Amino acid sequence: MRKIALGMAALGLVLGGWAPAANAQEAEDEVMAVVDALFDAMRAADSAAVRELIHPEMEKMASSGARDGVAGVGFTAMDGFVQAVGGAEPGSLDEKIGPSDIRIDDNLATVFTPYAFHYNGNLSHCGVNVFLIAREGEEWMIVGLADTRRRQGCEEWLNE
C-alpha cells in the first residue's frame, strides 16, 4: 500500500510539473491567436474584426524609423488604420510574420515578431512588430502596437 501511495505522489509531482508548462503554452497560443486574427482580418479587409481585437481605449499605434537620416517615431490613429483595412480590397493587404518571441506575465503579454508586408502581392516594407496584449476577463486584446519599417534588408524575413 505504501508503494502505491509513493507511486501516486511521484506521479502527481510529475504531472503537476507539466501543468504550468501546459497552461503557459495555452496562454501563448491564445496570445498568438490574437496576432494571427489581426492579420487574417487585414487580408479579409474586415475592419469590424480588426476593431474587435483592439482595446477600445487604444487610440494610436507607433512606427519608428529614420526620417531624413534621423531616428524618430510617428503615431497613427487606430481609427485611420481600421478604416484603411475596411477600405482595402480583400487579399490586397498581406503581412507575413516570422518566428515570434512571446513573453507573458499574469494578464500582460508582449509579442515581438519580424514581418514583411505585401500590398497587392508586392513587397511594400518589412521590420519588426511589437504587440502589447492584455487580458480582460477571459479575452486577450491588443492594447499597444509599434513597429519598425524599412524597404531594404527584407530578404531575411522572406521565405518565399
Give all domains of the chain, ordered by start, each with its CATH number: 2-157 (3.10.450.50)
- Cα–Cα distance for residue pair 151/126, rounded to 1 Å: 6
> pLDDT tens-digit profile of 61-85?
998 887 777 888 999 999 999 999 9
Tell me: pLDDT of 49 over 80.
yes
Among 6-15, 81-90, 103-112, the range scoring the smallest mean pLDDT is 6-15
pTM: 0.81
